[in-house]
Amino acid sequence: MDAELTFAMHVKRVASRCFYQLRQLWSLRPALSADNARMLAHAFIASRVDYCNSILYQTAAVHIRSLQLVLNAAARLVAKKRKWESITPTMRDNLHWLLARHRIDFKMCLHQLAAPYLESMISPVSAVSTRR
């Protein structure tokens, strides 16, 4: 974690690990069916992007952009699209994937709706008298 709490190093590390997995999957892509490619992309890429991404809520767009590039590359792998072809409609209509920023927002909504009993246990640090 960096001093400004931007999570830039965390995002960079997640993106680099995802791109490594994508390079491995590209070598297998000719032998995979569309369903198998979708399953592997979700298992290796989307799950890594989604894991603990709620900490990135309201993070600067420059940091979320690298996660979006990972999702775009994974969608291109699944849909067999080239880099210059638009992938956003394919992600939305065929794969039913949200954009990176929307994934984070959706996850925050799920956490707020699914766990209301936790709200009584959580208080801001500024409210604790023993903390500065």
- CA-to-CA separations, 53 to 5, 64, 99, in angstroms, rounded: 14, 10, 13
What gap in Å lies between CA 122 and CA 99, rounded to an integer? 29
Look at residue 1 and tell me if it is in a domain. no
Tell me the one-letter amino acid at 24.
Answer: Q
Give the per-residue pLDDT at 126.
62
Look at residue 121 and tell me if it is in a domain. yes
Task: Report the mean per-residue pLDDT for the chain.
Answer: 83
User: Is the model more confident about 16 or about 124?
Assistant: 16
Look at residue 66 and tell me if it is in a domain. yes
CB atoms within 10 A of CB 11: 22
Look at residue 115 and tell me if it is in a domain. yes
What gap in Å lies between CA 132 and CA 128, rounded to an integer? 8
Number of domains composing the chain: 1
pLDDT > 70? residue 55: yes
Residue 98 DSSP one-character state = P
Q: Which range marks the domain in which residue 65 is found? A: 8-127
Give the per-residue pLDDT at 115.
53
